[in-house]
Amino acid sequence: MRFLTTLFETFDDAARAIRALKAICIAEADISFVTRCIKGAFSATSQAGKTKGTNAAEQLQDLHAGVGVMNIPGIGPAAVAGKIARQIADTEKSDGAETCLVSVLMTHGLEEREANIHAECIRQGDTLLVVRLDDDRQQDIETTCSLFSRVDVEKRFAAFAASGWFRFDIKSALPAC
């Protein structure tokens, strides 16, 4: 099984990508996300176009029925949806908190270096989006996600490295959202 694993600087961009993926009939079961910070002006309009209240939980539920909040080692409380939520919980139990998120990201096709960068990006407030790739829809999925502002992982790594960072550390202080 292959995955598209990408990062967005804001949850709004990830939410728009999720809505666009659903609009091209990508099943909700094939979409997962993790976000620590819901920054930006998260749209108060549901997928059906009905105005919703300002309740973030209600808006998240409207975006993905499987959303929940979990405490991820090194990330803290995060909104998590899709199969990745169960994988994080299972991996924390079996492998321990120290490697939990990085291990899960590696099961989604990321090399260890990339998984550490992605985990740190989530810790810094970016939103991770994971979509299961179906061979006949891969191009549609990649094109749809590219329409929204994504994080340049190599530039982000260079910025992290310049500050002395070398890997995701669950003991690092969480930055403000």
pLDDT tens, per residue, the chain with 177 residues: 899 999 999 899 999 999 999 999 999 999 999 999 875 444 444 344 444 445 566 777 778 888 888 889 899 889 999 999 889 888 877 766 666 899 999 999 999 999 999 999 999 999 999 999 987 889 999 999 999 999 999 999 999 999 999 999 988 888 888
Decide if 28 contacts 66 (C-beta within 8 A): yes
| pLDDT confidence of residue 96 | 65
Token code pair at residue 32: 């997962």
| pLDDT confidence of residue 46 | 39
Give the full edge-to-edge strand order of the sheet including 76-81.
Answer: 2-8, 127-133, 31-35, 76-81, 68-72
| pLDDT confidence of residue 16 | 94
Alpha-carbon distance of 58 to 154, in angstroms, equals 35
Token code pair at residue 82: 């899709």
Alpha-carbon distance of 88 to 70, in angstroms, equals 9
| pLDDT confidence of residue 131 | 96
DSSP H helix total and E strand total for the chain = 7, 5
| pLDDT confidence of residue 56 | 62
DSSP states of 13-66: HHHHHHHHHHHTT--GGGEEEEES---S---SB-TTS-B--S-HHHHHHHH-TT
Report pTM.
0.86
| pLDDT confidence of residue 57 | 64
Alpha-carbon distance of 92 to 44, in angstroms, equals 34
Buried b (16+ CB within 10 A) or exposed e, 159-170: ebeeeeeeebeb
